[in-house]
Structure 1
């Protein structure tokens, strides 16, 4: 009688299992595609029973099987060498599977890709990978698979339960086959792959700490479900633990690190670091290094290249980090990701091409345009955008609840050096750029200025190419970066930043004077590659509903004030009818000055923030809305610019729902300085236009119709969002009875 394969002790297996990939796990695409029997429920609830018996978290079949039951599992990778399996009978005590056996086969590429795949238990291709083994109750059983399993290629398993019973988990560990190295460096339009993906054999080699969750989670697909399925280290403290006097790291900078081996050697184009679900424990910064070594573990004296310099991280966000210029054509086998000083993040992906050592590139690669993020753009200026979660706000950007709970305000995303600014609408090219392009010239910002694209149906994203100035004031080519910004993102160019001509269509410019603050222009001839990022854009409703004969049962006579005592009918805003309250921000409108009268010693600053404004409860189309509060800003004018709703699919913020019209309600001051009810007027501002409230104008806090909208807000204030509100910034009056009623137009 043949001897059974011996079990491997758990502690021994745990010491080396990170060298292998759990190829059967659902997170990598592993899936059960067929079984002989699944009579009993699959959720364990002690003492609970369903119509078919006790509830168990596992697979349990009916009793008295004369032969055996079976289950067929499709593995995640397309092909793998298989080394070990873990047959776990957890929770099954007295009804566990007594014995098991494992078979494997290799599906064709066509079969593997078939979403309706069916594999028969009697398929002639099945080969034995593990002979019959005996199992015990409520325990894990680790077995080494036979030579055929380790040498062959497999992507489908058949696990036998002999003769019947229960099995909690089955796990298969192996070495996914890496992709074949490319014969040479590919052209820019060949899409890079994640070289650290476990589907091609990428795996974690070692790490400095895994106190809360293991770094192998970093390699999983998707963005996870909560904080538990990422990598998180313990807290480090100066002078304590491994940094204590006499300890190994005394006096060194605090950091944690993880080393991963790529599934295939290759070049690195860019890195993705995702801090999803780590809002209060994400690292302050990260750095990526890479090296080449033939073996599994990198020797202590290995030379590491810093492919991504130490860069700040944000909360619950994806970060796309470009490789340092000049290193994009080096060949690497291992990476080291360091986080400062500690913390956790969700995913780590290394994008490049599989290439053999010694492969030479004909020329430096182009600058790859990556999705725009606040942290990556920081050396060149700042990014103006809203976030779906207040905790995703960049570090140092306060977030408060505003407008009676209907908005989140992201304060001072961009602080302007001047206390006065000119706001104008400019035109830029709106031609979408994708693929390879050559940028002939760059121009230098002589002063900081901001660009906020106006939302249009044509512009869902635009491109940015920027560089810093060197110590001599000239363009520093080593700092060139390219970005793809969505219609929901604006930017401020810092003084001295070099930038390429814009392609964002109509945009609002905020700066020292009307128009773009452009200075010196130089020939650059920069090769750029813009990947075709799929759009996840919402088609916004850009037109104001026609205000003609009937509005909610009231005759619309064009009079927009409350002098008659009747409900107010909102009218479309125009430059003319808005002139006594402020300025219109729209194509063709005159540039306007943002003014303020704060005393110099008050420390007020002019800045751009974003209100993520949601529809107010009770503000419904076709119904009346009571005006019971108004506010004014006695020392500053205030501008609101609607932002677009474009987004990149699975990259960054999700697109906001379509629609969104701004209802502006204003009133003139009476002789006592308070709002005069007889002068209340209401205006409809479409998504493609913004407005400025003059200093001291009484107005209702932002009222949005139909959908959530991000409004860029340009204003001068003392309050920075961190400290208590300063009464000089805003005066708010609440009324016990409505001072006016607005008939909200029906769609």
Structure 2
């Protein structure tokens, strides 16, 4: 029996960048006569209902192309390179750490092999522009089995916006999952308040006391939960402790308001909750440092099936927030509205800058005010692991002409506008 998430693949704990909840979609496909390529991105595991036939045959919950044929009676078989493909626009751009190619319920009609490629095409490109992009192999052509969730780890630190699934020579794939780390363009967030915990900006539920009934990753998922199962729910406690979820924010910031949502949790909502914060910008580890946590929201009574909107006093910056629920129960969502600090914005920007393709990094620097030569030199100095490394790299740039002081000032202004250093 196919299982969509493979326990031996730790990358499945990361966000699915190809989730339609985040805005992913099919840009194009060369062939989906039997079953639409859009099915690849359906959030639920694939289903199979035997003997349900439509005008094109058995209805399959996945992407299925027609059977390929050769060019003539003398060559009736497809060539070794003949294949079908589907291109996915990721819901959010990010660094891909692993891919799931799931052939659930495809037993006599699965592809012989498949490959996965990726490209970075910023902005809002047309399908033709995406197809013409420079594609990089993430998963080389690999044999597939029927009714199996194939897990492929990816070792590539580049930020991508699109992936392409190639199947050889034809056949059906039920689901495609693309797990990774969100890399938000910092320019999109400048001057804004937003949900610092949200998956779409890079927030991650990185630890939880309990995930018996449902995942803590649901807490910071996009949109509102439509049923109880789309939230986070713990088992019933039989001791005097409490349950909690720890979230790494998209970047260090000030949390201005919280929404603690118990929608759909009627008889199993927590009685109370509080929020505590941690600032790891100085190098501490929130997973082991029990003394560095400080209160953000005092223990507050919760009501069942209710969106609790709670305004907070802006205080110390935080990089991590932990919600404690007393004694147990379930939450639909947690929203933490706030704004990035200068250090938080710089850290986010450096992670983005280090991961975008070189051509994009250079174009961004030129757009911020550097010369083409300066942009190329600073891009070549990557990775800029922290603000100190970035400052050193900027100082090492040689002026193209004119007084050194003038060029130094211009460089610093340009890099500050982009990277915040």
TM-score (normalizing by structure 1): 0.40
The residue number in structure 2 matching 1:63 is: 67
- Displacement of 1:205 in angstroms is 1.0
Task: State the shift of 1:26 in Å.
Answer: 1.3
Instruction: Tell me the equivalent position of 1:456.
Output: none
Structure 2 CA distance for partners of 1:44 and 1:220, relative to 1, 3 Å = same
- CA distances 1:228-250 after superposition (whole Å, capped 9, x unpaired): 1110111123xxxxx2xxxxxxx
User: What CA distance in whole angstroms lies between the structure 2 residues aligned with 1:212 and 1:354?
Assistant: 33
- Determine the structure 2 residue equivalent to 1:132: 141
2:152 is the counterpart of 1:143:
yes
Show the counterpart of 1:264. 251
CA distance in structure 2 between the aligned counterparts of 1:358 and 1:157, rounded to whole angstroms: 29
- 1:157 aligns with one of 153, 163, 167: 163
Cα offsets for 1:165-211 (capped at 9, x unmatched): 1111111111111453999xx9xxx5411111112221111111111
Post-superposition shift, 1:110? 3.7
Q: Against the structure 1 CA distance between its residues 101 and 296, is the aligned structure 2 distance closer, same or farther, given a 3 Å change threshold?
A: farther
Name the larger-Rg structure: 1
Paired position in structure 1 for 2:7 = 11
Q: Deviations over 1:638-684 (max 9, x none)?
A: xxxxxxxxxxxxxxxxxxxxxxxxxxxxxxxxxxxxxxxxxxxxxxx
> Structure 2: any 5+ residue segments left out of the alignment?
37-46, 70-77, 346-421
The alpha-carbon distance between structure 1 residues 36 and 276, as it changes in their structure 2 partners (threshold 3 A), is same
Say if 1:178 and 1:264, in contact at 8 Å, map to a contact too: no
What is the rounded CA distance, in whole Å, between the counterparts of 1:227 and 1:59 in structure 2? 29
Indicate the residue corresponding to 1:73 in structure 2.
Answer: 88
2:232–2:331 CA contact under 8 A, matched in 1? yes
CA RMSD of aligned residues (A): 2.5
Change over 3 Å in CA distance of 1:110–1:352 after alignment to 2 = same
Mapped pair 1:33 → 2:27 = yes
**Aligned equivalent of 1:291:** 278
Q: Which of 347, 355, 368 pairs up with 2:341?
A: 355
Q: Aligned residue for 1:192?
A: 193
Between Structure 1 and Structure 2, the one with more helix by share is: 2
Q: 1:87 maps to which residue?
A: 101
1:308: which partner in 2?
297
* Residues in 2 aligned to 1:257 and 1:335: alpha-carbon distance in whole angstroms: 10
Task: Indicate if the aligned counterparts of 1:331 and 1:357 stay in contact, CA closer than 8 A.
Answer: no
Post-superposition offset of 1:227: 0.9
Displacement of 1:357 after TM fit?
Answer: 4.2
Report the alpha carbon displacement of residue 280 of structure 1 after superposing the two structures with TM. 2.0
Partner of 1:428: none
Alpha-carbon deviation of 1:356?
4.4
Local SS of the residue matching 2:248:
strand
Matches of 1:72 and 1:144, distance apart in 2: 20
Measure how far apart 1:121 and its partner are: 6.9
Note closer, same or farther for the CA distance 1:170–1:110 as it changes in structure 2 (3 Å cut): closer
Please state whether the residue corresponding to 2:229 is helix, strand or coil.
Answer: helix
Provide the rounded CA distance (Å) in 1 between the counterparts of 2:187 and 2:285. Answer: 19
Instruction: Name the CA distance, whole Å, in 1 between partners of 2:139 and 2:188.
Output: 35
The SS at the match of 1:83 is strand
Judge conservation of contact 1:207–1:215 (CA < 8 Å) in 2.
yes
Distance 1:232 1:119, change over 3 A: farther
Q: Is the 8 A contact 1:308 1:322 kept in 2?
A: no
Partner of residue 661, structure 1: none
Shift of 1:80: 1.0
Rounded Cα–Cα distance in structure 1 between residues aligned with 2:177 and 2:344: 37
Is residue 317 from structure 1 mapped to residue 306 from structure 2 by the alignment? Answer: yes
Report SS of the residue matched to 2:7.
Answer: helix
Distance across 1 between alignment mates of 2:341 and 2:144: 44
Question: 2:95, 2:183 within 8 Å by CA — same for their partners in 1?
Answer: yes
Question: Matches of residues 667-746 of structure 1 in structure 2 within 5 Å?
Answer: none
Return the alpha-carbon distance in structure 2 between the equivalents of residues 141 and 163 of structure 1. 18
Task: Kindly state the Cα deviation for residue 300 of structure 1 after the two structures are TM-superposed.
Answer: 4.2
Distance 1:179 1:122, change over 3 A: closer
Q: Which residue of 1 aligns with 2:183?
A: 177
Q: RCO higher in 1 or 2 (8 Å CA, sep ≥ 6)?
A: 2
Distance 1:63 1:276, change over 3 A: same
Pick closer, same or farther for the CA change 1:331–1:180 going to 2, 3 Å: farther
Does the aligned pair in 2 maintain the 1:61–1:69 contact within 8 Å?
A: yes
Residue 47 of structure 1: how far off its partner (Å): 2.2
The answer to whether the 8 Å contact 1:41/1:53 transfers is: no
C-alpha contact 1:44 1:58 (8 A) present in aligned 2? no
| Distance change (3 Å), C-alpha of 1:318 and 1:179 | farther
Structure 1 residue 69 displacement after superposition: 0.7
What CA distance in whole angstroms lies between the structure 2 residues aligned with 1:57 and 1:136?
17
> What is the aligned partner in structure 1 of residue 322 from structure 2?
336
Q: For 2:300 and 2:59, how far apart are their aligned partners in 1?
A: 49
The alignment status of 1:123 with 2:132, answered yes or no, reads: yes
1:201 aligns with 2:210: no
Q: Quick check: 1:179–1:354 contact (8 Å CA) kept in 2? A: no
1: CA distance between counterparts of 2:122 and 2:17? Answer: 17
Instruction: Please report how far the alpha carbon of residue 308 of structure 1 lies from its aligned counterpart in structure 2 after TM superposition.
Output: 0.8
Name the TM-score, length of structure 2 as normaliser. Answer: 0.70
Residue by residue over 1:22-62, the C-alpha shift from the partner in whole angstroms, topping out at 9 and shown as x without a partner, is: 11111111112221111124673222211101112111111
Q: Which runs of 5+ in 1 are unaligned?
A: 1-8, 112-116, 238-242, 244-251, 360-747
Q: Aligned equivalents of 2:127 and 2:99: distance in 1?
A: 23
The CA deviation at 1:68 is: 0.6
Pairing 1:376-415 to 2, within 5 Å after superposition:
none
Query: What secondary structure is seen at the aligned counterpart in 2 of 1:151?
Result: coil
Structure 1 CA distance, aligned partners of 2:247 and 2:344? Answer: 21
For the residue of structure 2 that corresponds to 1:109, the secondary structure is coil
User: Conserved in 2, the CA contact under 8 Å of 1:205 and 1:296?
Assistant: no
Cα distance in structure 1, aligned partners of 2:274 and 2:6: 34
Q: How many residues align?
A: 318
Given that 2:208 and 2:245 are in contact with CA atoms closer than 8 Å, whether structure 1 keeps it comes out as yes
